[in-house]
Amino acid sequence: MKKLLILLLYAAFLSSCGAKQPSEEMIQTAIAETEAAKPVPTKTLTIAPSPTATEKPLADYKLNDLLVQENELPPGYNPSQISYIGIPFLAKEDLPEELFVIQQKFEHKNEYGGSVYIYVYEDPHDAELVHEYLVDSLYDENFVEATNEEGVHIAASFLDMTVKQVAITTHYCHYTTYIFFNDTTDIKSAATYAGSVDGRLYNELPCEE
């Protein structure tokens, strides 16, 4: 089953009364918004190859066109530079090596506004390990976590009620994604975009199940 994590980082103007705690209603509202944005991948008909056909290697897939499509980023965000450089903190860890990684930056208010990363692995177990590492690295003791029956995880820190960053990681079979937006309050648009990327990858990359 695909895994979709939504991490909501609620920032930093501490009042004299101290940190506020989220209500159950606020958490459930965030879950409902995320669930509404989940992708429902459409499995396309695949014609069985002839006996002489060879399967396309994962390393030969070009994912540039799957990163961002027209008018799907949250308002005020625009696609920017594409590169093949991974997340800096992942490179420092003892994690499986990817077949390849592709990144596209977002521009927001003429500044760097976030990125989407897609990691592809030969072994699906490696992709799952990296996804689990990302999930663990995004949570800490200051976050409350809620999980609905579909396996959508939401972790939120409510130091005040202002959203400052949304980070999302998804995983299925050979790929893991990591997406984040700086300085956004539009959680639903961020989750919808992440779901769209996930759905495109689900349909594009093969999976032997």
The pLDDT tens digits for 99-126 are 999 999 999 999 999 999 999 999 999 9
Model confidence pLDDT, tens digit, residues 53-89: 457 888 899 999 999 999 999 999 999 999 999 998 8
Q: What interhelical angle do 24-37 and 187-204 show, nearest 10?
A: 40
Give the start-to-end residue ranges of the domains of the chain. Answer: 3-13+28-36+65-204
Query: What fold characterizes domain 3-13+28-36+65-204?
Result: Protein Transport Mog1p; Chain A (3.40.1000)
Across 11-141, where does the E strand assignment appear? Answer: 77-83, 100-108, 111-120
Position 39 confidence tier, pLDDT thresholds 50, 70, 90: low
What is the pTM assigned to this prediction?
Answer: 0.74
Adjacency order of strands within the sheet including 3-10: 77-83, 100-108, 111-120, 175-182, 163-172, 3-10, 152-158, 144-147
